[in-house]
Structure 1
């Protein structure tokens, strides 16, 4: 079993107003409070979960697994923080999962935002921070993302970061206890590079 002080290969990524880093043991109270207070807001968009899923033991098990996955280079889990009144504030999370190498070179992007921070533009910034990590540090060719057809907030986040709609998948993921259709978006390395050339970055 991975020890608490073993290396975690998830990097720290910074944007204009946000910091993305691996979850830590000490983040548990803030995570539990944010997830609990946002449950009704998140429920229609996530796999079914209950109060039991917020307990400390499961949280610690998750961060151990996250560290192992980062070391293996298969998945990366980030918490998103901003600074409010001089203090670090957890606002949400981003995951890069199912990373594939060889002929594929892609990863799946997922994210969640606490209810009181939704609509603030922070998730658009956070995705914009993690995209260069995927292409420049991990050397991937594609980032995939999927969202429920009525989730216009997710559509805007992805479109603002250069993602394009590629298709529609019936009964794609189990959300809130039912198999749900999803809209499929992706961003390619070529489109990302072209955008950077246009903006002079």
Structure 2
């Protein structure tokens, strides 16, 4: 299966949770959210091992992500929540599916970050399950991978709640916060969740 041209933009909804494309007009909100969460996110932020000139502007970043999305390489979503007043859903984080491989692989990697004030409320596993189901059911991907620093206990709880398999440690896998860092690799295949990951997660919550 090939990712169809014109398949982006895509918005997914589940209850009060939305995964929607990052927009140019999100700049002020996105930058304020990142500033407010700087200390919370810094230990897990991707970095580059070699200095390479100025960082892209916000507009350049969104433009690049949209090009990659239209090419079937990435899905750059904002995590947003509707309030009781049903106004514009509030941005609370990001979720990105990247490294999408087609042909005989049908695999991708998923990464996310959440506003510290909203952490621990089940928003991130809900968003990961929603995105994974879309990739498996709608796009025909077979495997989803999440790579997490061993010290990142909050993210480790997410994959534990969702039942991703621990495939072991990848030494010096990604450049994070200024150094090459080990990661634990977790994965799930479509045949492991025939009824959907979101359904399994909800069923697990109902029995607790």
Work out whether the TM-score is over 0.5. Answer: yes
Q: Is the 2:76–2:96 Cα contact (8 Å) retained in structure 1?
A: yes
- CA 1:188–1:42: 2 relative to 1, 3 Å: same
TM-score by length of 2: 0.83
What corresponds to 1:12 in structure 2?
11
Unaligned runs of 5+ in 2: 1-5, 49-53, 204-208
Asked if 1:156 is matched to 2:172, the reply is no
Alignment of 1:176-191 (within 5 A): 176-191=177-192
CA distance in 2, matches of 1:108, 1:8: 19
Alignment of 1:1-201 (within 5 A): 9-48=8-47, 58-84=57-83, 86=85, 87=87, 88-193=89-194
Q: Is the 1:10–1:77 Cα contact (8 Å) retained in structure 2?
A: no
User: Tell me, what secondary structure is at the counterpart of 1:84?
Assistant: coil
Q: CA deviation at 1:67?
A: 1.3
Deviation larger for 64-73 or 169-178: 64-73
CA distance in 1, matches of 2:177, 2:110: 19
Q: Is the 2:167–2:186 Cα contact (8 Å) retained in structure 1?
A: yes
CA distance in 1, matches of 2:186, 2:160: 9
CA distance in 2, matches of 1:165, 1:58: 36
CA distance in 1, matches of 2:47, 2:68: 23
- CA 1:20–1:195: 2 relative to 1, 3 Å: closer
CA RMSD of aligned residues (A): 2.1
CA distance in 2, matches of 1:127, 1:113: 12
Q: CA deviation at 1:85?
A: 5.2
Q: CA deviation at 1:48?
A: 3.9
Q: CA deviation at 1:10?
A: 3.0
Query: Structure 1: which 4+ aligned runs deviate by more than 4 Å?
Result: none
Q: CA deviation at 1:179?
A: 0.6
- CA 1:195–1:48: 2 relative to 1, 3 Å: closer
CA distance in 2, matches of 1:173, 1:21: 27
Q: Is the 2:81–2:91 Cα contact (8 Å) retained in structure 1?
A: yes
Q: CA deviation at 1:195?
A: 6.2
CA distance in 2, matches of 1:195, 1:137: 12
Q: CA deviation at 1:160?
A: 1.9
Aligned pairs, number: 188
TM-score by length of 1: 0.86
What corresponds to 1:3 in structure 2?
none
